[in-house]
Amino acid sequence: MKGFPKNLILIILLSVSISFLIACVSASDPSTINNNYVFTSYSADNSHYVKSTSDNQVYYFDSGKNAVPWTYNIGSYIGSIAISPDGSHVAVGCGGGLIYLFDQQGNVLWKKSFGNSLISPISFSEDGNDVDASNALNQAFYINLDGDLAVRPEITDAIPTPSEPLPSTPDTQIPANYLPGIVDTTGISWSGYIGWGIIALIILWILWVNISNRKKKGSQVKYPPPPQNGMIYAESIPSGAKIYIDGTYVGVSPVTIPNVWLGSHSLKATLNGYDSNVQRITINAGQTALYSPTLRKLTPPPPNPPTRVPHPAQQQKLSIPDLITQLGAKTPQDREEAQKQLIIKVNTEGKPAIQQIIKELEKQPSGIKREIVNLLYYLSKESHEGQKATEELILALTYSSPEVKWLIIQTLGRLKDKRALSALEAAVLDTDFLVKYWAIISLKSIQES
């Protein structure tokens, strides 16, 4: 039934209900009463007579008034029927030995069983005070008007009123203007049918009005929501830069900018002592774009007392762990000096120095970790040992902790080196959320480059 037109269903139900109502009204019309009569019996002067039909209905006729004062549905098979000579009583013999006795107004005076077989025939005595009946087993019953068995007279000249139709009877059907005075109470009356039909029409009318109102109001179909906006994750190197989108300040890096309109936007990062960075980024539906500028430090004016430069001999004595620790120094001069010395070590000692720098990532706090990653980025991009640095970063993904992994993945994404594609694809399957997240972003960044 899914998809079947509801209007068509309502039309079918409405048609059936109207047909049912018409049939009920037709069935209740006196002019259409079933005239398939089975038994007929007349009073002595033919002023009253009774008939039974094949549907077990009894009709009492008053010829003088041209009316049907009452009808009654027996509810069981009628085997015979009789009316008293003066028309004051009606006796009906039924299956199972059941006999009904009615008065002239249609009231049931009594209903009793005599034997267990069909009562046929049945008649009244000449004086109308007794009922003479017999059944299919040839059992005879002589019953008074109180329903008790009486003594049959030995000799009687009474001629019983026959139960069979009289040949001279002119009536073959009930006149259309006869109106029953008593309605059968053993079944559903014609007014009951009409009532149920009217109720069905009212219910269908209410359903029809509801559907019409829905059509007027329009369809209640829920349309899918419009495409969602995108996001931007801004992380500068060094961190702490002020981030602007289309000239509007949104926060300090690292920062996530939610609900960004689709299309092209201008991103700007500013930090005291560093050059500003401006880029245009295009946002697609549901995309999280990465804005990761590397800010270049402005060359400070030479101080009046020249900056103290450590002696080269002293610089060479510092180990890689010491230089990495110095990356967390408070003064910018000390941090820069440590970066220079680490670059010198990489260029002189080669791959072992790179490996040792990467291993130090695991031991250092988050702030120094970022300084080391920033240094590795420059080594990969600008040093003559850059290719080795990139290879070691890719290799480090196989043994590093999750925090170190996603820092390395960010660096590989910024380098946009296609040699890192397979390593990033493997990182996408990592169980750590940040590793997986940055692997997806970096992988997409390299693929689009």
Other beta carbons less than 10 A from residue 241's beta carbon: 25
Q: What's the rounded mean pLDDT across residues 145-161?
A: 73
Instruction: Please name the helix (run of DSSP H) or strand (run of DSSP E) that holds residue 53, with its range, or none.
Output: strand 48-53
Higher per-residue confidence, 327 vs 281: 281
pLDDT band at 50; cut points 50, 70, 90? very high
**Cβ distance 289 to 232 under 8 Å?**
yes
Residues of the chain within CATH 2.130.10.10 domain(s) are 34-173
Specify the CATH number of the domain 318-448: 1.25.10.10
- Mean pLDDT lowest among 184-188, 257-261, 354-358: 184-188
- One-letter amino acid of 374: N
213 alpha carbon, distance to own chain's centre: 22
Identify which has the larger pLDDT, 227 or 110.
Answer: 110
Of residues 130 and 25, more confidence is placed in 130
Q: Which two tokens stand for residue 354?
A: 């790179």
Q: 14 versus 357: which is more confidently predicted?
A: 357
CATH 3.40.50.10800 is right for the domain spanning 230-291: no
Q: Tell me, what amino acid is at 102?
A: F
Helix axes 386-396, 402-415, angle to 10 degrees: 140
Tell me if 120 sits within 8 A of 112, measured CB to CB.
Answer: no
Which residues in the chain are classed under CATH 2.60.40.1120?
Answer: 230-291
Least confident of 99-108, 244-253, 376-385: 376-385
Q: 363-368: list long-range contacts, CB under 8 Å, 24+ apart.
A: 364/324, 364/325, 364/328, 365/328, 366/403, 367/328, 368/324, 368/325, 368/327, 368/328
Split at pLDDT 50, 70, 90, the class of 173 is very low
**Cα separation of 80 and 122, whole Å?**
6
Give the mean pLDDT of the chain: 78
Which tens digits make up the pLDDT trace of 288-313? 888 989 998 887 666 665 555 554 44
Q: Where in the chain is the domain with CATH 1.25.10.10?
A: 318-448
Angular region, 430: left φ>0, alpha ψ -120 to 50, beta rest: beta
Secondary structure class of 71 (helix, strand, coil): strand
Model confidence at 192: pLDDT above 60: no
At 365, phi and psi to the nearest 5?
-65, 170
CATH 2.130.10.10 fits domain 34-173: yes
Q: Looking at residue 445, what is its pLDDT?
A: 86
- Does residue 36 sit in helix, strand or coil? coil
52: pLDDT confidence band, cut at 50, 70 and 90?
very high
Residue 85 has pLDDT above 70, yes or no: yes
- Across 128-132, 293-297, 315-319, least confident range: 315-319
Q: Looking at 168-172, 247-251, 337-341, 357-361, which range is the least confident one?
A: 168-172
**Mean pLDDT calculated for residue range 118-133:** 90
Q: Of the spans 312-316, 365-369, 422-426, which averages the highest pLDDT? A: 422-426
How confident is residue 102, by pLDDT bands cut at 50, 70 and 90? very high
The pLDDT value given to residue 270 = 94
Contacts of residue 125, defined as CB under 8 A and 6 or more positions apart, other chains included, come to: 131, 132, 156, 158, 160
Higher pLDDT, 257 or 369: 257
Contacts of 18 (CB under 8 A, 6+ apart): 201
131 pLDDT exceeds 90?
yes
What is the pTM assigned to this prediction?
0.32
- Give the helix ranges, DSSP H, for 220-350: 312-317, 320-326, 332-349
**Burial class of residue 443 in the structure, from the number of CB atoms within 10 Å of its CB (0-12 exposed, 13-18 middle, 19+ buried):** buried
The three-point CA angle 162-163-169 to 5° equals 80
CB 270 within 8 A of CB 234: no
Q: Nearest Cα to 327, choosing from 297, 360, 301? A: 360
Which of 17-21, 359-363, 410-414 has the lowest average pLDDT?
17-21
Give the helix, strand, coil percentages of the chain, each rounded to 5. 40, 25, 40
- Average pLDDT, stretch 357-363? 81
